[in-house]
Amino acid sequence: MDMQTFKKIWEKHYQTVPNQLQKIKTIKGVATGFNANIDAIYKITGQKLAELINKYGLTLAQMQNIEYCRIIDKTDFIKGVFKSFTQGIAEEWICENKEVYEWLKQEIGYNHLQIGGQGGIMANVLSTVGIQKVLTHANSLPKLQADQFAKLDNLLSFDENGQMKPAYQIDRKNDLPLIHWIIEFKRGDIIEIEGQKFRCPKANRFIATYDPLNLKLVLDENFMQNVKKQNLDFVILSGFHALLAKSGGEALIDNVAERIKEWKQSAPNTIFHLEVASTQDLLIRKAIVKELICLVDSIGINDRETMDLLEAIDEKALLKRCKEQTTAENLLTSLSKIKEKTGIKRIQLHMFGLYLTLQDKDFAITPENNFKGMLAASVVAASKARTGLVDGQSINNVKHDISDVGIIELDSLSLALGQPELALTGLGRYRSWDLIAIPTILIENPLTLVGMGDTISSLSLVAAR
């Protein structure tokens, strides 16, 4: 079947999205936690990056010699950006030095500010699409941070007196603004170092995080107690990826795991989802697998995070295969291995051009509804990528330009599985589980990529009505 025929079939599938986004407004309550912060967005060019490298006297050999994926001094930041730029990959490195944080403010600055952290981003998106009540965790909420939340009365948090109110109206004056640097770069941009040219293969971003509260997983007790009292449809969690084992991160995860168990006892019908996020510390990754994934119903990951989990569950051969060929077929095999070893009921993968969901036959949401939720997530994510906004007008103006890469990957996967109908209907099977797959909408020159995975994972699940 030719590409245009495939696209016409999928364009018809995408016509169900407006109706699906109306259904989402019937959802009564969602809670998001734990990390919310301020993202300082800076769009870097190859030329600017080369200037930084030359300014601080770094050689190409030094740039390519990365001993650890964290930021102890300013040259580590430059190395991290260079790695992400030249490989087209998304990474987040923890900044452990306040002097570097101050240097980032002076040397890098930002183009604009917006809400950050998986919990904060998902709260903004879910409240904007019309969920009746979105309760978000914020361990710091001064006016500068509150200003980044959507100006909507259905997005709620807690003031300094423990009163629930619209998050944008809160000003906890004694709280510290938590600022993360998001360094974005464009596909095709070129950096030249020592006569060698490196072309960025994919638009992406590098995140430098200096965040003492979220690094210690400081919890707002008002949120923790209130979640137990609410009649919530979903609880969506993240924010564990920034923890460090050397700073007691494993014990912090153990503590939160006990609190999640309390929530589950008081809300047996609530669906719990974990957004895994890029986690550099292998011991923390192992703790997430051991203590958290076993507690939730669903997880969201991208291709890089899939490989991170493979390392955490000691699947070295499969990890090597995925690194060599990051195909939908290899990633699906990886999802099945993660599912088998962790017992997770549902995994949602977002890779370039394609989303895959693998779930138990008796999962609370049917494959057909998951399919609709994934289509809705693709449209909303495309709106966010194209305009930086999630609102009715920008969503309605999204053109259904289906990704060629996604269609090719899906067609190849369907043939490998012996299920040609998968490429046409998006519904199939893998071993004893349901498999749902969709090619995504392509945005050629995205305005922003921050929060794409969070938007995709949360909406794929919550919009599946």
CATH 3.30.1110.20 domain residues, the chain = 39-114+176-212
Q: Is the peptide bond between 82 and the residue preceding it cis, with omega within 30 degrees of 0?
A: no
> Within a 10 A sphere around the Cβ of 219, how many other Cβ atoms?
17
Residue 324 has pLDDT above 90, yes or no: yes
Residue 449 has pLDDT above 80, yes or no: no
Q: Quick one: pLDDT band at residue 110, thresholds 50, 70, 90?
A: very high
What crossing angle do the helices spanning 328-342 and 316-324 adopt, rounded to 10°?
Answer: 160
Give the mean model confidence (pLDDT) for residues 344-362. 97
Residue 176: the pLDDT is 82
Asked whether 129 and 461 are in contact (CB, 8 A), the reply is no
Give the mean model confidence (pLDDT) for residues 398-419. 96
pLDDT tens-digit readout, 235-263: 999 999 989 899 999 999 999 999 999 99
In the chain, the percentage of residues whose pLDDT exceeds 90 is 85
* Tokens standing for residue 363: 């999962």
Euclidean distance between CA atoms 211 and 92, whole angstroms: 12
Residue 138: the pLDDT is 96
Residue 392 has pLDDT above 80, yes or no: no
CA separation, residue 49 to residues 39, 100, 108, 111, 414 (Å) = 20, 17, 11, 16, 41
Residue 314: the pLDDT is 97
Residue 347: the pLDDT is 98
Residue 340 has pLDDT above 80, yes or no: yes
Nearest CA among 148, 159, 92 for reference residue 123: 148
Q: Quick one: pLDDT band at residue 465, thresholds 50, 70, 90?
A: confident
* Tokens standing for residue 341: 């070893």
Query: What pTM was computed for the model?
Result: 0.88
Give the mean model confidence (pLDDT) for residues 150-161. 97
Residue type (1 letter), 238: S
pLDDT tens-digit readout, 299-315: 999 999 999 999 999 99
Structure-token match 């995925």, residue found: 322
Please state the three-class secondary structure of the chain as a single string: CCHHHHHHHHHHHHCCHHHHHHHHHHCCCEEEECCCEEEEEEECCHHHHHHHHHHCCCCHHHHHCCCCCEECCHHHHHHHHHHHHHHCCCEEEEECCHHHHHHHHHHHCCCEEEEECHHHHHHHHHHHCCCCCEEECCCCCCHHHHCCCCCCCCEEEECCCCCEEEHHHCCCCCCCCCEEEEEEECCCCEEEECCEEEECCCCEEEEEECCHHHHCCCCCHHHHHHHCCCCCCEEEECCCCCCCHHHCHHHHHHHHHHHHHHHHHHCCCCEEEEECCCCCCHHHHHHHHHHHHCCCCEEEEEHHHHHHHHHHCCCHHHHHHHHHCCCHHHHHHHHHHHHHHHCCCEEEEEECCEEEEEECCCCCCCHHHHHHHHHHHHHHHHHHHHHCCCCHHHHHCCCCCECHHHHHHHHHHHHHCCCCCHHHHCEEEECCEEEEEEECECCCCCCCCCCHHHHHHHHHHHCCC
Class of domain 39-114+176-212: alpha beta
Phi, psi of 448 (to 5 degrees): -150, 150
> Within a 10 A sphere around the Cβ of 74, how many other Cβ atoms?
18
CATH 3.40.1190.20 domain residues, the chain = 3-35+118-169+216-462
Classify strands 70-71 and 433-439 as parallel, antiparallel or unpaired. Answer: unpaired
Residue 416: the pLDDT is 97
More confident residue, 1 or 118: 118
Classify strands 37-43 and 179-185 as parallel, antiparallel or unpaired. Answer: parallel
**Mean pLDDT for the chain overall:** 95
* Tokens standing for residue 133: 């009540």
pLDDT tens-digit readout, 50-104: 999 999 999 999 999 998 888 999 999 999 999 999 999 988 898 878 899 899 9
> Within a 10 A sphere around the Cβ of 169, how many other Cβ atoms?
14
Phi, psi of 440 (to 5 degrees): -90, 175
Residue 23 has pLDDT above 80, yes or no: yes
CA separation, residue 97 to residues 61, 212, 237 (Å) = 24, 10, 27
Asked whether 56 and 124 are in contact (CB, 8 A), the reply is no
Residue 211: the pLDDT is 87
Residue 92: the pLDDT is 86
* Tokens standing for residue 276: 């895994």
Residue 397 has pLDDT above 80, yes or no: yes
Burial letters for 198-209: b for 16+ Cβ neighbours within 10 Å, e otherwise?
Answer: bebeebbbbbbb
CB under 8 A, 24+ apart: contacts of 171-176: 171/141, 171/142, 171/143, 171/146, 172/140, 172/141, 172/142, 173/142, 173/143, 174/142, 175/140, 175/141, 175/142, 175/145, 176/140, 176/142, 176/212, 176/213
Residues 6+ apart with CB under 8 A from 197: 190, 191
In the chain, the percentage of residues whose pLDDT exceeds 70 is 100
Query: What CATH number belongs to 3-35+118-169+216-462?
Result: 3.40.1190.20
